Amino acid sequence: MRFVDEYRDPAAARVAVRRITELADGGRGGLPYAFMEVCGGHTHTIYRHGIEQLLPETVELVHGPGCPVCVIPMGRVDDAIALAERPGVVFTSFGDMMRVPGSAGSLLEAKARGADVRMVYSPLDALKIAEATPDMQVVFFAVGFETTAPSTAVTLLRARERGIRNFSVFSNHVTIVPPLKAILESPDLRLDGFLGPGHVSTVIGNRPYDFVARRYGKPLVTTGFEPLDILQAIVMLLEQFAEGRCEVENQYTRVVRDEGNPIALAMLQQVFRLRPHFEWRGLGFIAQSALALSEDFADWDAERRFDLPGVRVADPKACQCGEVLKGAIKPWECKVFGTACTPETPIGTCMVSSEGACAAYYTFGRLHRTAAGLAAASS
């Protein structure tokens, strides 16, 4: 395939759906096959293109914790706001993180109160601001899985090379394997397999997921982000069940290699170290699941340069983002979904990021569910 529209071909999609229906006939033990899409980008594709409505009732898709904005706990947002409101600090962040609510509002509200908060598209943009304003301390709010961590690493290497000392990073980078283990060890787990994350796998490769099949007996297929990618990955999962196999496979071969990106991995090893533990929204503290700056880059570590509150903050009682991230409930089952909590007035992180399950369903799926509910009521 050469063009994007080939990955959205309706005829090919119908063939894939027919194959899924054949393979999933009868479900598994009287229940539908339940597959978790780990990545928030997959959730966005599923809702945007109506894939959930194309699938037979014998296949259920469950949302996972792969939205990097969604998993940041409120206490870390409060730390970011505390940094932004310090005199002499320019706080830089990606746009979606500026809207994530903490216990005292969001970074956007801190900006409205007078804090110097600026949106950037890359950590290199933040480094340019530091070069242009040597009398200010410029902090970059680093968020994301292994997908975005290499760009932070490149920026820190460049800051050290150029001797830029008024720049630091507030690292909230997380890693994908530990939360997968936490989900697999959950006592109420009811999953049959996984749609593996595509973006993360371009960096770490496909081999780190071998434990999912080997130790926990669940198949995993790493997949891309177009509709036919998702449908083909579901076919591959169901074919494993039909053939009595349990393996880690790669549907996204046009981008992902088993060994990953060795240059990016080398940079991560040079710049970062694993944290002993890190809090995830909805999953609690998970050991060695996040990245902090290594000793070699301590001079550019915002957590060492500034005193931060570091207080653990509980989510609002009305918010059920944690349950959504674990796949325990669907977005529309949250008590405040679409009423008190909307993309314009989010209570939880899942409604902020475009990759969040709540935001994706609010934008692309809620009208279908409303129509389905009305049809059921009238019949």
Which secondary-structure segment (H or E) carries 279? Answer: strand 277-280
Q: How confident is the model at residue 376, as a pLDDT?
A: 44
CA 206 to chain centre: 17
Contact yes or no for 31/59 (Cβ under 8 A): no
Sequence-separated contacts (24+) of 292-295 with Cβ below 8 Å: 292/171, 293/156, 293/169, 293/171, 294/270
Above 70 in pLDDT, residue 210? Answer: yes
pLDDT digits (tens, 9 = 90+) for 20-61: 999 999 888 888 999 999 988 898 899 889 998 999 999 999
What pLDDT, on the 0 to 100 scale, is given for residue 369? Answer: 54
Taking alpha carbons only, the member of 54, 45, 2, 6 closest to residue 227 is 45
How much is the mean pLDDT over the chain? 90
4-65+177-250 and 74-174+290-305 have identical folds: yes
For the domain made up of 74-174+290-305, the CATH class stated in words is: alpha beta
Question: For 295-350, what is each residue's pLDDT tens digit?
Answer: 999 999 999 999 998 888 777 777 887 778 777 788 888 888 888 888 888 877 78
Most confident stretch, 30-34, 258-262, 280-284: 258-262
CA angle 6, 7, 12 (to 5 degrees): 80
Is 363 in a helix, a strand, or coil? helix
pLDDT, position 205: 97
Task: Assess if CATH 3.40.50.1460 describes domain 4-65+177-250.
Answer: no
DSSP state of 314: P
Question: In which residue are the tokens 């409303």 written?
Answer: 370
For residue 367, count CB atoms less than 10 angstroms from its CB and return exposed for 0-12, middle for 13-18, buried for 19 or more.
exposed
pLDDT tens for each residue of 86-103: 999 999 999 989 998 888
Dihedral (Cα; 172, 178, 183, 184), 10-degree rounding: 170
pLDDT greater than 70 at residue 283:
yes
**Closest by alpha carbon to 92, among 169, 36, 144, 157?**
169
Looking at per-residue pLDDT, the higher value among 5 and 164 belongs to: 164
Name the pTM for this structure. 0.88
Report, in angstroms and rounded to the nearest whole number, the Rg of the chain calculated over CA atoms: 21
- Give residue-wise pLDDT tens across range 239-253: 999 999 999 999 999
Gap between the Cα atoms of 43 and 66, Å rounded: 9
CA distance 67 to 77: 16
The confidence band for 2, taking pLDDT boundaries of 50, 70 and 90, is: low
Distances (CA, A) of 379 to 117, 346, 362, 370, 376: 53, 34, 25, 14, 5
Compute the average pLDDT of residues 142-148: 95
**pLDDT tens across 113-126, in order?**
999 999 999 999 99
At CA 142, angle to CA 137 and CA 145, rounded to 5? 170
Residue, of 264 and 365, whose pLDDT is higher? 264
**What average pLDDT score do residues 208-215 get?**
97
Q: Using alpha carbons only, give the angle 248, 249, 251 rounded to the nearest 5 degrees.
A: 150
Please state the domain extents for the chain: 4-65+177-250, 74-174+290-305, 321-378
Q: What is the DSSP string of 31-83?
A: B-EEEEEEEHHHHHHHHHTTHHHHS-TTEEEEEEEE-TTTT--HHHHHHHHHH
